[in-house]
Each structure stands twice: as structure tokens, then as C-alpha cells.
Amino acid sequence: MAKDILEAKQVLENRESAVRKMMDEIEKDLELVGATGVEDLLQEGVSTTLQAMHQAGIKIWVLTGDKVETAVSIAHSCGHFNSSTAVIYLTALTDLQKSKTKLQEIKSQMISTVNYGLVVDGTTLILVLEHLAKEFYHIASKCHAVTCCRMSPKQKAQVVQLVKHQPSRPMCAAIGDGANDVSMIQEAHVGIGIMGKEGRQAVQCADFAFSQFRFLQKALLVHGHWYYIRVATFVHYNFYKNVVFNTPIFLYTMWSAFSTQSVYESLALTFFNISMTTLPIMAYGLFEQYLPSSVLQQQPHLYKEITRNKKMGWKEFFKWNGLGLYHSLIMYFGVIAVCWGDTAGLPNGQTVDLTVFGMTLVSICVCIVNFKIIVETRFFCGLYNWSVLLTLLSYAALYLFYSGVILYPVIQNYSVYWSYYRTFECPTLLLAGMLIVLVALTPDVILRAIDDIKHSQTISYSSKISSAIKLKSYSYINEDFVEEESDRRKTLTENSSLA
């Protein structure tokens, strides 16, 4: 028999029919002894993860090679489609005009209050992606969930490319576990590989890898939230602190006839961004937790606060730099007011010179900038606390040494000699410095309090809603149980009385 099959495969003419004829001869008069199958189950936590991502405002498109019936069944079982989803089918469309008419019909009938789910197959996608991509995406974007089935690896990449290049510029993440997902993983902004039973090709080509799909929930909703807040605050803070530090230099030029004289001493200009304000923001960027992990997982809708790059928008930019400008104005004109008319109160009738004036400005600036990041911090840990304390102490130690010891000829520090000590000889400057820091940071504290109140109200309201839903479902179950229990007891009583 093997020899006959080999001969059939070597036929030069009508090879397929010859092989098929031999196969038909072999596959007849057989008795079924047994059958084997591969069980393809969803991983643990897939449904919970998808529902949490939907609540977080993340649009999910399922791209699969399964047939339509299987894909729709899986979409319902994993929570991608729910009982209230109105499913729209775009399948088996091969004519361009019919496809265009179908899309226009769907578009005209869609209602904003209805939860839609879109199902489209590979045959339709061939036509739609080439000729009607804009119309297709317009309909798909209005759907709560999209399922694309019977797709080739190339079509998966094309769909990702379609979404990625839209005018709204959405951030696309592609998640896959097999070799057929490699093309779309590489096409997306972020590629995520799942270590499944289909090999390691997806993991090797991805930016991030997870052993199970359910781990995405914490990675996105918790660590993604924390990381975004850290990075956004880090960027804004670096602009802010330089606005606070450099604005007095610009203001002083108007008091010095626009000369090249700097209000700060050279050491401050060199070390302000190196050692005087660096450690606290670095610790913030490593350890900050904007909200607790449990809250972010239980209330996925909080993820919407950071979508569309909200924390890096112009509103946040102007808020940070507006506060920086306010801090610098309060700082500069506050010290000017204290020193105006030689009223600073230095001993022996001394007056405040430029070095003492600049040293006072630097000291106040370092305090304001470092206390600002404390106001923004919500998670205080040991390393963060030490970073703030070490920064302030190192600043004081640096100037105690630099202005207390003559370092000539290595460093010409005659102009700042004893100037830092002179600021402590003046109670007026010390008191004014503390008041300036307090007045400067008052708006920041108020804004932080308002933000905390909003978050507490949102979290409290969401907790009440979820508790009410759970209570309602429990009471419904209990009522049914009570009715069934009473009926069962009634039946038992009747049976015992008949006996």
C-alpha cells in the first residue's frame, strides 16, 4: 500500500487525483477503535481580566483564526461579549458595492446608547481593508468590542496597522501566544507575548512576556498607572524646578541694568540640578504609589484618569510651570521686601550684600522645590524620607564648608566667605524665609487637598455602587433560596401527614 501511494505521488499527470484515489481506497471498510482530541480551554482569569480592561476604557479587538461560530462562542464565554451586546455581523462579503451598502446601512442604524459588538471574517477584511478602511474603522470604533475571525497572520498585522495610524493616534498593544501572532506583535506599539503551549516565538519577538493572560490586569491597571504618574510628575517637576530657580536670575537683570552679573554664586549654578534637588525626585520616580494596589484593581475605571496622556497635556504643563513662576515671584520679591532699605537686621549695622541676598534666595529655593515634591507624594517609604533629609542636610553641609573655609588657590571663594553664616545672624531673614516658603506652597497644598477630596469621593461612590450591586444579587439569591426551602418543607410536611 505504501508502494502504491509513492507511485501515485510520482505520477506526472493528474497527480492530485491519483493520490486522492489511493487515499479513498485506503480509507474504507475501517472500524472505529477510538478517538483523541486536544482540549483548548481558556486560561484562568481571562474573563475577569477582559471585563476589568473594558471598565478601564480600553478597547479590545480579538483577532483569531477560528471560524465565526467558534470565535463568537469564545467571545461570549470569556466576557468579551455579554448578554446585552448587540452583535453585528460582517461576514462573507466579496462584492465592493454590497460591502459599501452594508457599512452605510449599519452606520445609519447604530444608536449611541446600545452596546454593540462587531464580528468580521477574513474574507470581508480583504475587501474592507483595501477599499473601505475608513468606513470600517468608523463603525468598529463605535462598538464596545470587536472580534475578527478566520484571519491570516498578515491580516492581523494589517488590522493593527489600521488602528495605529488613525488621526486619534491610539496606543496599540498586541497580545499573542503563537507564531501566527508574531507579525501583529511586531507591528503594534507594544508587543506582549504569552507563554502558552504553542511555542516561544511570540515571547521572543515581544517587548514584554507573561506566563498567563490574567497577569495583564495588575500590570496595566496597577503598575501601568503608577509608572505613568511617576514619569509624568518627573518630567513636569524638572521643568518646574528650573523655572523656580532661573526666574530670579532674569528678574535680577532688571535690577542690575541688564548686566551679566548673576544673582547666584557659581556653586549654586553648578550643583542645583546635580545634588540639591535630585535625590527626592529620583526616589519619587522609583517608589511612588499614587493609589493603593487594591483600590486600582477593584476599581478599574480609575485607569481612565491617565488615558489619552492626560497628565502630560498642556493643562498640567501650565499648572506646574504657573506654580513655578508664582513660587519664584514670591521668593524673589519676598526677599527684596525684607532687604529693602537695609531693614534685614544684620548685627553691627551691616547691610545685606549681593552674596547674602543670593545665598538666601538659594536656600529658600532649595526648600520650596524639595517641599513641593513632598506635597505631591502619596506614598512615603524609608528610602524616600531619607532622600529628602539627605538632600537638605548635604546642602547645608556643603555651604557650611564652602563659605567657612578659604579654598584659594584651588577655588576663589573670597566673595562667599562667611556669607552663609551671616544669614543665620539675622532673625529677620530666617523668619522671612520660613514665611516665604509657607506662602509659596499654600496653593500647592490647597490643590493637593482638592485632588484628594475628589479621589475619595470617586472611590467612595464606586464602592457604594459595587456594594449595592453585590447586595442586590445576594438578596435575590437569598429570596429564591427561602422560597425553595419553604416549598421543600411544605412538601415534607404534607408527605408526613399523609403517611
Among the listed ranges 18-27, 138-147, 242-251, which one has the minimum average pLDDT value?
18-27
Provide the residue ranges of all domains of the chain, joining segments of one domain with +: 47-217, 219-462
Block residue for cell numbers 462562542: 73
342-386 pLDDT, tens digit per residue, is: 666 666 767 778 888 888 999 999 999 999 999 999 999 999 999
Among the listed ranges 194-203, 357-366, 469-478, 482-491, which one has the minimum average pLDDT value?
469-478
CA angle 82, 88, 94 (to 5 degrees): 145
How far apart CA 329 and CA 89 sit, in angstroms, is 62
Q: Which three cell numbers stand for residue 300?
A: 478599574
How far apart CA 469 and CA 475 sit, in angstroms, is 10
Give the CA distances from residue 466 to residues 202, 222, 461, 469, 471, in Å, rounded to whole numbers and listed in that order. Answer: 37, 19, 9, 5, 9
Residue type, 51: Q
34-83 pLDDT, tens digit per residue, is: 887 766 678 888 999 999 999 999 999 999 988 899 899 999 988 899 88
First to last CA, the chain: 74
Q: Rounded to a whole number, what is the largest CA-CA distance in the chain?
A: 120
Give the CA distances from residue 497 to residues 235, 244, 345, in Å, rounded to whole numbers and listed in that order. Answer: 81, 90, 105
Mean pLDDT, rounded, of the chain = 85
Give the CA distances from residue 323 to residues 122, 125, 358, 364, in Å, rounded to whole numbers and listed in that order. Answer: 54, 51, 21, 15
Residue type, 129: L
Residue type, 86: A
Question: Measured in whole angstroms, how far is the alpha carbon of residue 141 from the centre of its chain?
Answer: 21
pLDDT of the residue at 93: 86
Residue type, 226: W
262-301 pLDDT, tens digit per residue, is: 889 888 898 999 999 999 999 999 999 998 999 999 999 9
Residue 193: strand, helix, or coil: strand
Among the listed ranges 1-5, 96-100, 336-340, 491-495, which one has the minimum average pLDDT value?
491-495
Give the pairing of strands 60-63 and 86-90.
Answer: unpaired
pLDDT of the residue at 495: 47
Domain 47-217 has CATH 3.40.640.10: no
Bigger pLDDT: 244 vs 83: 244
Bigger pLDDT: 38 vs 150: 150
How far apart CA 15 and CA 386 sit, in angstroms, is 80
234 confidence band (pLDDT: 50, 70, 90): very high
